[in-house]
Amino acid sequence: MSNLIFPTGYRSALNLRQTQQAIKLTKDAFQSRLATALHLDRVTAPVILTAGSGLNDDLSGVERKVSFTMKNQPGEAEVVQSLAKWKRVALSRYGYRPGEGIYTDMNAIRRDDDVDNLHSLFVDQWDWEKVITAEERTLATLKKTVTAIVGVLADVNALIKSVYPALDAEVRRDVTFITTQELLRRYPALSPKARENAITREKGTVCLIGIGDPLSNGVPHDSRAPDYDDWTLNCDILVWDAVLETALEISSMGVRVNAESLRRQLSAAGVPERAAFPYHKAILEDRLPFTIGGGIGQSRICMLVLQKAHIGEVQASVWPETMIRDCEAHGIMLL
């Protein structure tokens, strides 16, 4: 398949059994360290939500949700695409205070995602959310949190390499912070993805700030739903993947919208009618706490530290038959 990357001479350093054991160690170590670093409690979260609740993540606003009717109640249920909104409601309902937060295993189906080395129809990530004060809705808060998450990743990578000496992935602790507008000025002739690759190849670990608003060329760096992140205070965390020779996005996160930014972003996205949803009304009426949060890709983390060439080597999903055959021919064994 033309959209696949086949690294020359690739062979996994771990066999299938070792891989499964290493996945567990990676996930156990990362989530425990993340909880400590950000002061988070683990909570139970939904896999399905009722359609029309306004709580399901709309991602960039065009992806179709997986939905179905139910036997014992009217309407439809939807499989979550992420839990960006649900977490903020949960923090309010559970009585969390500034400095405290939650995380959960989020398992989603994104039917409209293209499948390739880095993308699957099945999404598994740690969704996390933390209460902050109005005064903490700043870039300083964003950067401090990003630095903590990258520190956890670097620690886990060091642990995995100590257990499996055949692995030698590099994760740089020092983070390069750059805005999408600064990145455009630095590489004006490149596409957004090529810009990400260029800066991450050079710097190793990058925090790309400000995703959603149009840049000076009139085009956003990438699309972002208007009703969870504040587009001026959000970011992607990128790490250079030496196996695939590409920038690997391990997290999308940010300070969440307040009433002012929600109104602006709903208008900019052309969906002001969403303001009538219960979730959106709660923000506009200042009935939900100020928060920061995001998602951290579990399979992406495992790919990186276990030096895998395809996300299907660390998660079980559904793949086109041609992809399965092509991957096997290039030494990539999908689970």
- Residues 242-265: tens digit of each pLDDT: 999 999 999 999 999 999 999 999
Q: What is the Cα–Cα distance from 91 to 154, expressed in whole angstroms?
A: 28
pLDDT at 103: 97
Tokens encoding 197: 């690759």
Strand ordering across the sheet containing 67-69 = 48-50, 76-79, 67-69
Q: Where are the domains of the chain?
A: 16-329
* pLDDT reported for residue 61: 62
pLDDT of residue 110: 84
Are β-strands 205-209 and 229-241 bridged in parallel, bridged antiparallel, or unpaired? Answer: antiparallel
Query: Which residues have a catalytic role annotated?
Result: 57, 110, 125, 236, 249, 252
Residue among 326, 292, 277 at smallest CA distance from 58? 277
Please list the rounded mean pLDDT of every run of 10 residues in the chain (335 residues). Answer: 84 95 97 98 91 71 81 88 87 96 91 88 94 98 98 98 96 98 97 98 98 95 91 98 97 97 96 91 96 96 97 93 93 91
Report the pLDDT value the prediction gives residue 199, as an integer from 0 to 100.
Answer: 98
Model's pTM, two decimal places? 0.92
Q: How far is CA 60 from CA 39, 63, 102, 112, in A?
A: 29, 7, 24, 11
CATH of domain 16-329: 3.30.930.10
What pLDDT was estimated at residue 49?
A: 85
Q: What is the pLDDT of residues 196-231, one digit of tens each?
A: 999 999 999 999 999 999 999 999 999 888 998 999
